[in-house]
Amino acid sequence: MKLTSEQHAQFERDGYLFFPGLFSSEETRTLTAAVPELYGRREAYNVREKGKDAVRTNFAAHLYSEPFARLARHPRMVEPVQDLLGEQLYMHQFKINGKQAFDGDVWQWHQDYGTWRADDQMPEARAMNVAIFLDEVNEFNGPLMFIPGSHKLGVLDAAHDTSTTSYPLWVINNQTIHKLVDRGGIVAPKGPAGSMILFHGCLVHASTSNLSPWNRVSVYLSLCAVSNHIRQFKRPDYIAHRDFTPIDAWEDDAVIRAVNAKVAAE
């Protein structure tokens, strides 16, 4: 899966690329089916919503769940990112964000690279965020919002917010968001389960709470250029990985083949 020159230009300009319905419903079903058991585990890698039992974010499932391990090396995800960063990649972070029906809380305006630099000493913003929808995303279940073009300003001033939600975040101040939105507006890509978004580590993003009866589970992978690996190991290794082995992409039907093999074996 090679990106076109138009897609390269679009990424450069807007800071993201959207691929609606990139994975089939058969592929996402395998992943979605694995989520409840993972969320049910009482482990530090499951961060729950403030005052609630619903999981806000699950870390590092690719290290202990077979379908997610396969997704982590999927060529439809790895190849375009490799194309954009021009280098082999390793997995810096792997999350399954719940944004559960009724319980999913806000994510305030932030840039991911701000955290990677401050907490992990990642040298440059040469790491890509990948969002893969495990549920349909619509206007009611708290879609990801981007400010197009905001990645061009590099790392913006941010304050460490440890109180609003259950997960601490380096949050950008309101005045800056006002200016950025005046320039670039806001977009919220929506689409069926299996859609994918690639977005720049400096792209400013947020999402509202989910008051709808529809879950909005998404996988967020952060793929870092190998030479740009983190230098500081302050955060737990299930949050900021320390294994810089380059990812070998699998063949395209990996997710489906795994299911079929399992069905055949049963």
Q: Enumerate binding residues for its own copies (CB under 8 A).
A: 101-102, 106, 108-109, 139-140, 142, 145, 174, 177-178, 181-182, 186, 188, 206-209, 211-213
- Residue 80 or residue 142: which is nearer to its own copies going by CB? 142
Closest CA to 91 of 67, 112, 63, 114: 63
Check if the beta carbon of residue 194 is closer than 8 Å to that of residue 27: yes
State the minimum distance, in angstroms, from the CB of residue 119 to its own copies: 23
State the minimum distance, in angstroms, from the CB of residue 33 to its own copies: 20
State the minimum distance, in angstroms, from the CB of residue 138 to its own copies: 9
State the minimum distance, in angstroms, from the CB of residue 86 to its own copies: 34
- DSSP-assigned states of every residue in the chain: -PPPHHHHHHHHHHSEEEETT-S-HHHHHHHHHHHHHHHHS-STTEEEPTTSSSEEEEE-GGGT-HHHHHHTT-HHHHHHHHHHHTS-EEEEEEEEE---TTTPPPEEEE-HHHHHHHHH--SSS-EEEEEEESS-B-TTS--EEE-TTGGGG-SPPEEEE-SSSSS-EEEEPHHHHHHHHHHH--B---B-TT-EEEEETT--EEE----SSS---EEEEEEEEGGG------S-TTTS----PPPPP--TTHHHHHHHHHHHH-
- Residue 65 or residue 111: which is nearer to its own copies going by CB? 111
- Residue 108 or residue 121: which is nearer to its own copies going by CB? 108
State the minimum distance, in angstroms, from the CB of residue 210 to its own copies: 8
State the minimum distance, in angstroms, from the CB of residue 183 to its own copies: 11
Could you tell me the two tokens for 189? Answer: 């890509």
- DSSP bridge pairs for 225: 89
State the minimum distance, in angstroms, from the CB of residue 217 to its own copies: 17
